[in-house]
């Protein structure tokens, strides 16, 4: 099931925040990084919506969207002739 492990880790991070705010904050950051990575992977897999299990967890939804949009922009830049003109610089649109 898409997002199950990340959602479980998110719940654990929330509990950890109650016990140890600093440790829980680190755990939450790690979970958001995982959600962002899932968004990138799911862009490549053709998914265009975050996992339903992320509902009610705005940090996970936002991280997933950030990763998805990052992968989409990278894919767009990979085929942009202006970005791939040999200078190593992105075009004005992607820069």
Pinpoint the alpha helices (H) of 20-88. Answer: 21-45, 58-78
Which tens digit of pLDDT belongs to each residue from 1-54? 999 999 999 999 999 989 987 877 899 999 999 999 999 999 999 999 999 999
Which tens digit of pLDDT belongs to each residue from 63-76? 999 999 999 999 99
Check: CB of residue 44 under 8 Å from CB of residue 70.
Answer: no
Whole-number Å distance between alpha carbons of 39 and 3: 10
Check: CB of residue 27 under 8 Å from CB of residue 13.
Answer: yes
Check: CB of residue 6 under 8 Å from CB of residue 35.
Answer: yes
């Amino acid at each position: 099931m898409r997002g199950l492990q990340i959602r479980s880790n998110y719940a654990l991070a929330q509990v950890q925040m109650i016990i140890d705010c600093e440790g829980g904050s680190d755990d939450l950051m790690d979970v958001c990084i995982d959600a962002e990575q899932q968004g990138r992977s799911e862009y490549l897999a053709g998914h265009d919506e975050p996992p339903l299990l992320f509902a009610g967890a705005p940090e996970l939804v936002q991280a997933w969207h950030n990763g998805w949009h990052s992968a989409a922009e990278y894919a767009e830049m990979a085929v942009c002739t202006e970005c791939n003109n040999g200078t190593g610089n992105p075009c004005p649109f992607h820069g």
